Structure 1
Amino acid sequence: MRKQSKWMLRIMAIATTGALLITTPSALANTLDDLKQEQKQLEQKKNNIDSTIKHTEGKIDQNVSKIDQIMAQIKELDTKIINTESQISEVLNQIKLTTTEIEKLQASIKELERKIEERDQLLKERIRAVQVSGGSVSYLDVLLGANSFIDFIDRFSAVNTLMDADRTILEEQANDKKQLEEQQASLNKKLQQQEDSKNELLSLKASLDGQKASKGNLVDQLEVEQAKLHEEKEVLETEYDEILNLSQETQNKIVSEQKRLAEVARKAAEEKKRKEAAERQRQQAASGGGGGGGSSIAIPNVSAGAWTKPASGRYTSGYGSRTHPISGGVKTHYGIDIANSTGTPVLSAADGVISYASPLSTYGNVIMVTHSIDGQTFTSLYAHLSSIKVSVGQVVSKGQIIGAIGTTGNSTGPHLHFEIHIGNWEGMAKNSVNPLRYISL
């Protein structure tokens, strides 16, 4: 009776310990899941910020293009302004020359005016002389008053001379007045044309200056906007760096949590060995120390030892360098591939704790199991799965079904990509080993 009580207490202790091993990882699962969710949110935020930075850089490039275009226009306006100023300078020189001509003409005009005034005085004196003589003197009277033929000839010659002189005076007077009017009209017209040309060029220059000022204002506005965009980009880049630091911190927490789960796996392995030893002792005691063994549940394709083949199927690709089936380049294959139809069961290759069970980049659906075997931590990875049948923190046994073969992620057909890493998984290349060192196909 006392012996039965003793074995009953042992069985209760084993059951209690087993319950703790089952519930404790489930509680830990929330922590790792929360960390992975936090990491996912940080990645999303980082991607959003990166997208915003690229959008801002696009705006900056557009502004640079606009500024370059406007500066080219300003350069063109500068060329036009220089040409216009040159034309204005030329017209001003012409106006100066015309003004000099006008000054010379004014001197000539004064001379003509003096001659015209002298002739006017002479004509006035001639008129007064006629008036003094009673207004009845005529050239005929002068001729008829000759005392002799010689006197007549003299008088006739004098009359002709006077008539010619009067006619010349009148013609010169008319010609000088006409010349004066024509010169004045010509120079005034030329001066007016030059003034008009000068005013047009000054108006054109004012318009060009206005356009240049407007373009300059636009450049100033764009440069202000450019400075603002650079400031926004700098703020975004600072935030991006902060997110990277947070992401790295979360990644470190995930690695730390996986290490903690590895310790859980180690303790689970030790407890399993203890339970198996206790069970063997119980069976030996129940049989009176005989050597008979109890029956075990047979699991297909489960090997003896610490490791077993993770799935049945055709071995299609080994560990090491190979020609990538998609890119065509020669790359290192950090695992082995086992091809089979979609849905074929995938087994845990050894006892352990589920440390990852989600999609992961080009791997598609992935499960990672952290193992503790003879005091050494290992991580096995199962990729391209069509389904995941376990959750993070769950304790699994060697040969337990954890998922199914599929073709998710970067895959050319349904198969299992299987990796083994000494220590924690920190990327496909780090600590990877050839799985065939531990499993047999």
Structure 2
Amino acid sequence: MKKVASSILIGVLTLMTVSTSGLHVSAESIGDLEKKINDLEKEQSGLSEEKSNLEGNKKDTENKISKNKSEQSSVEQEINSIDEELSTTQNDINQKENEITETNNEIETLTNKINELTERIAVLKEEIEILEDRIEKRDALLKQRLRTIQQNGGDMKYMEVIFGASSFGDFISRTSAVNTIMDSDKTIMEAQAADKKVLQENKKEVEASKEEVEVKKVAVEDQKKSLENQKQELVALEGQLKDQMKEKETLMAQLEEEHQDLEEYKMSIEDEQKVLNDQEKAIKLAKQQYEQEKGNLEQLAKEEAARQKAAEEKAAKERASQSSSGSSGGSSSSGGSETVASTPTPAPSGNAIFIRPTSGPVTSSYNPNRMHPVHNVVRPHNGTDFGQRSSADARILAAADGVVSTAGTLGGFGNTVMITHVINGKTYTTLYAHLSSIAVSSGQTVSQGQQIGVMGTTGTSTGVHLHFEVHPGGYKNPANPMNYLN
């Protein structure tokens, strides 16, 4: 019969033993395959449960993303409202500042006017002093003349002066002199009255003007204080609005960061769902291959049993023929076959079940608490990094026989290959990240040592290297790869 390849998932199975009569099938091999098939069915059940949990996590994350978007929309509306109010407040502040500037100009004008009036009052005071001195002297002169007139009989004195003339010429001269004196007295009295009137009017005018200006200045200064108080209130409101704006912008930044984290988490869930789907396909394929191997072994067992039965029947006939002849007395050697127990291929010692995926040197070890070289935060380094010294190191090899579950871009890993292995009844996933190119496709079976890609620096990477991970029991169970490498 045509031999079915079993190297895809578990290595070489020893199926046969050698005897003198031909192939002898080991029943234990069939039992081993049945156990491995049962183990795969358990893996399938576990994957189904994990896929269900992931779907629940995805829906929960989508709800959180929807809620986050709603909150972002609400905060954005609040920010726009605050921004409008802030703009209005700033315009009001500018208007108040303009009004305060105009008021200051008005106060300055009034102050200058008051100063002018003050200076005018000072000048008037000097004029008043001169007028008062002039009035005082006139009052004294008039009093003196009045006393003289009273002592000399009033107007009769002027008559005596006139009629006492010695000649007509003297009469004319005396009459002119008397008129002059009388006109002078009249002028003095009129000037006296006019000066007093001017003095009173000037004092009244200046004092009224000054009082009016001072009242207006007080009113303008009160208006200025009111404007300054209004400005202070607006400035305080502006400060509150800026604080609110800062809080809302901080909240928006947090929501945006949370949204990004949720989107990344959703993508990681979707990536993980894809990995699980691919892994499920790989396990299904492995199960089919095991079942085919089991069918082949069962067929071989039937054929072996038929051969043994035929050999036993032939030997029995020969023994019967020899017994019936009697005379021959000869003896013949048995034609039966000697059974040799099968010996399975020994597994590698310890956990060393994978070969190194590259000949390059280790540049970064497995570390659950490593500082990420790009993001500068503590993030687990769930694998081992291998560098490149020569072109030969760039060849990336399958660490063991298996089925490619993922072959493509995977988030920060860049170009990534993931292979599902079933070794000694246990499932493993190996991951090869940051490849520059991929040489296999999803669902493809690969052999240990087969080239699957070329080392690169795709995804989140600081240089050309291979990031290699080992996940016993399936993806999302990282372990130190060096514990599994030969």
Q: What TM-score, normalized by structure 2, do the two folds share?
A: 0.49
Report if aligned partners of 1:57, 1:233 keep a CA contact under 8 Å in 2: yes
State the Cα distance separating 1:189 from its structure 2 match. 2.5
CA distance in 1, matches of 2:92, 2:164: 98
Alignment correspondent of 2:285? 266
Q: Does 1:256 align with 2:236?
A: no
Aligned Cα root-mean-square deviation (Å)? 4.3
2:252 pairs, out of 233, 237, 243, with 233
State the Cα distance separating 1:26 from its structure 2 match. 5.2
Structure 1 segment 189-200 matched on structure 2, within 5 A: 189-200=208-219
Q: Does 1:140 align with 2:140?
A: no
Structure 1 segment 234-383 matched on structure 2, within 5 A: 234-270=253-289, 273=292
CA distance in 2, matches of 1:105, 1:141: 42
Deviations 1:11-60 (A, max 9, x none): xx999999998887456423211111111111221232233234323323
Alignment correspondent of 2:148? 129
State the Cα distance separating 1:85 from its structure 2 match. 2.0
Report if aligned partners of 2:61, 2:266 keep a CA contact under 8 Å in 1: yes
CA distance in 2, matches of 1:124, 1:90: 49
State the Cα distance separating 1:260 from its structure 2 match. 3.1
Alignment correspondent of 2:88? 69
Report if aligned partners of 2:68, 2:255 keep a CA contact under 8 Å in 1: yes
Report if aligned partners of 1:142, 1:155 keep a CA contact under 8 Å in 2: no
CA distance in 1, matches of 2:165, 2:70: 130
CA distance in 1, matches of 2:164, 2:47: 164
Report if aligned partners of 1:143, 1:156 keep a CA contact under 8 Å in 2: no
State the Cα distance separating 1:155 from its structure 2 match. 5.0
Deviations 1:340-378 (A, max 9, x none): xxxxxxxxxxxxxxxxxxxxxxxxxxxxxxxxxxx9779
CA distance in 1, matches of 2:157, 2:166: 15
State the Cα distance separating 1:163 from its structure 2 match. 2.4
CA distance in 1, matches of 2:40, 2:268: 29
State the Cα distance separating 1:262 from its structure 2 match. 1.3
Deviations 1:99-146 (A, max 9, x none): 22222222222221111111110122123324544xxx0213541573
CA distance in 2, matches of 1:378, 1:244: 24
Alignment correspondent of 1:217? 236
State the Cα distance separating 1:203 from its structure 2 match. 2.6
Report if aligned partners of 1:139, 1:159 keep a CA contact under 8 Å in 2: no
Give the SS at the match of 1:138: coil
> Mind listing any 5+ residue stretches in structure 1 that lack a counterpart?
1-12, 285-374, 380-421, 425-441
Percent identical pairs in the alignment equals: 26
The alpha-carbon distance between structure 1 residues 85 and 147, as it changes in their structure 2 partners (threshold 3 A), is closer
Give the SS at the match of 2:51: helix
CA distance in 1, matches of 2:172, 2:43: 163
The alpha-carbon distance between structure 1 residues 62 and 69, as it changes in their structure 2 partners (threshold 3 A), is same
The alpha-carbon distance between structure 1 residues 37 and 124, as it changes in their structure 2 partners (threshold 3 A), is same
Q: What amino acid is the match of 1:48?
A: K
Alignment correspondent of 1:115? 134
Greater RCO, 1 or 2 (C-alpha within 8 Å, sep 6+): 2
Give the SS at the match of 1:423: coil
Q: What amino acid is the match of 2:125?
A: Q
Alignment correspondent of 1:102? 121
Q: Aligned residues, how many?
A: 288
> Mind listing any 5+ residue stretches in structure 2 that lack a counterpart?
1-31, 304-401, 407-440, 444-486
Report if aligned partners of 2:111, 2:217 keep a CA contact under 8 Å in 1: yes
Q: What amino acid is the match of 1:231?
A: T
Q: What amino acid is the match of 1:236?
A: L
The alpha-carbon distance between structure 1 residues 273 and 163, as it changes in their structure 2 partners (threshold 3 A), is same
Q: What TM-score, normalized by structure 1, do the two folds share?
A: 0.53
The alpha-carbon distance between structure 1 residues 59 and 148, as it changes in their structure 2 partners (threshold 3 A), is closer
The alpha-carbon distance between structure 1 residues 148 and 274, as it changes in their structure 2 partners (threshold 3 A), is closer
Q: Does 1:203 align with 2:219?
A: no
Report if aligned partners of 1:32, 1:257 keep a CA contact under 8 Å in 2: yes
The alpha-carbon distance between structure 1 residues 126 and 207, as it changes in their structure 2 partners (threshold 3 A), is same
- Please identify runs of 4+ aligned residues in structure 1 that moved more than 6 A: 13-24, 274-284, 375-379
Deviations 1:76-109 (A, max 9, x none): 3222222322232223222222322222222222
